[in-house]
Structure 1
Amino acid sequence: MVKNNLKDIGILGGSFDPPHKGHLYVSKQSLKRLKLKKIIWAITKKNPLKKKPFFSFTLRKKMCQKVIRGNKKIQLRYYEDKVKSKSTFSLVKFLKKSKKYKIFFIIGSDNLINFHKWKNYKQLLKMSILVVFSRKGFDTKAKKSVIMRHLKSKNIKFFKNLKINVSSTQLRNRIINGNKKN
């Protein structure tokens, strides 16, 4: 019997503009359900598929550190300078070079809808296991998305996310409109 020496890690990538308890919840659930060694919050300066971030990169990093404080298995990392790219594919390829990791890439079902627009998405699916947490209002559209044709059941895991229904967009809109709750 060959022993598997790979460490199972999760990557939750994004601009975290701002980070919130939903990010923390899916991270903790991924650690628990998938028995991961750690979760890396791979923060990006700017998501190539979104407009300019609302908060500065420095402030977003500080907010992320505050949200994950006390969670030793959740780490904030910035890789774009090392990887020389903003793409998730480049990040996963970089991490896989060490041959130490089995990578679980964590997204919400809202991101699954446009996943086919991500750089080298087909190769990304071959290099990692996609973990999709349901998001209220997005699940039906996600399951009918272009990407579902490219997925094999072993490459994707769907999880219901019943407790938390918050998004960075909602939080930014609350701030813009003067309602700073949550």
Structure 2
Amino acid sequence: MFHAGPAPKASGPRRGALRDGLGLQPGMRVGLFGGSFNPAHDGHLHVAETALARLGLDRVVWLVSPQNPLKNAADSAPLADRVSSASAVAHGPSMIVSDFETRAGTSWTIDTLRVLVARHPEVRFVWLMGSDNLAGFHRWRGWSDIMRLMPVAVIARPGSLLDSRTAPAAQRFARFRVPAAQARLLPRMAAPAWTYLTAPLNHRSSTAIRAARDAQDANG
């Protein structure tokens, strides 16, 4: 796992690509995996590793959100703690944990993705999400713009399989769905294009972890 820390100074044409500390190179196939990671757990790793293998990605960037606008800030651990949590889970050189949204000053996913695409025009990005997020994806600001900006891969998560397949986003973009058997082609496709990947399900969730931790604290 590589934690995207302060980027080294550079001159010449590579400077713009290095300033975010991600170390991405032209032609790379890169999954962007955003979330609060409050805390990160092996369910998140399951999504990232499934996408890495099934899509033939070179990297997965874990974009740790400074604060999800759709969630209560009072329930969120400090950003540094959540970055550390993701770093402890995201093993291997193909996994990059980054606080890029804080660096870029963006609060909404669509704005973050636009900045990354502008900085790395020759990188093949894919937006990654669990199926639990697809179920409510239509509530995100600029969600349809995300679908048109880059390909999207949805990885099955427990308790949301049926809801996600009938989600408004899935229905509106149904004709752009790519069969799972062709998932490795997705990073090279023009958006809109999306796929739904099933894999052995991992039942871990941040909500359950926080609830168990709170119960343990309450019991002394």
Q: Is TM > 0.5 for Structure 1 vs Structure 2?
A: yes
- Asked if residue 76 in structure 1 is aligned to residue 100 in structure 2, the reply is no
Which residue number in structure 1 is paired with residue 177 of structure 2?
153
Select which of 200, 212, 215 maps to 1:162. Answer: 200
Deviation digits for residues 102-129 of structure 1 (CA, Å, limit 9, x no counterpart): 2111111111111111111111101111
Q: How does 1:17-36 map to 2 (within 5 A)?
A: 17-36=38-57
Percentage identity across paired residues of the two chains: 23
What secondary structure, in the 3-state scheme, does the structure 2 residue paired with 1:40 have?
Answer: strand
- Aligned 1:35-114 pairs, distance under 5 A: 35-52=56-73, 53-69=75-91, 71-97=92-118, 98-114=120-136
- When residues 58 and 123 of structure 1 are mapped into structure 2, their CA distance, relative to the original with a 3 A threshold, is same
Determine if the alignment matches structure 1 residue 177 to structure 2 residue 199: no
Report the TM-score, using the length of structure 1 for normalisation. 0.88
Going from structure 1 to structure 2, the CA distance change for 1:161 and 1:176 (only over 3 Å counts) comes to farther
Match of 1:124 in 2: 146
- Find out whether 1:140 has 2:162 as its counterpart: yes
Following TM superposition, the consecutive aligned residue runs of length 4 or more in structure 1 with deviations greater than 2 angstroms are 80-84
- Deviation by residue 1:64-104 (Cα, 9 ceiling, x = unmatched): 111124x1110011122443211111111111112122211
CA contact (8 A) 1:12 1:105 kept: yes
Instruction: Give the TM-score, by structure 2 length.
Output: 0.74
- For 2:41 and 2:83, the matched residues in 1 are separated by 12
Matches of 2:52 and 2:153, distance apart in 1: 12
Q: Is the 8 A contact 2:43 2:204 kept in 1?
A: yes
Contact 1:133/1:158 (CA < 8 Å) preserved in 2?
A: yes
Greater Cα offset, 99-108 or 34-43:
99-108
Give the whole-Å Cα distance in 2 for the aligned partners of 1:127 and 1:7.
17
Tell me the secondary structure at the aligned position of residue 86 of structure 2. helix
Cα separation, 1, equivalents of 2:198 and 2:205:
16
Mapped to 1, the partners of 2:105 and 2:77 lie a distance apart of 22
RMSD: 1.6
Query: Aligned residues, how many?
Result: 174
User: Structure 1: how far apart are the matches of 2:145 and 2:40?
Assistant: 28
Give, in whole Å, the separation in 1 of the partners of 2:136 and 2:60. 23
> Counting helix residues as a fraction of each chain, which structure ranks higher?
2
**Unpaired stretches in structure 2, ≥5 consecutive residues:** 1-25, 179-192
1: distance between equivalents of 2:145 and 2:45?
27
Contact 1:103 1:127 in 2 (8 A): no
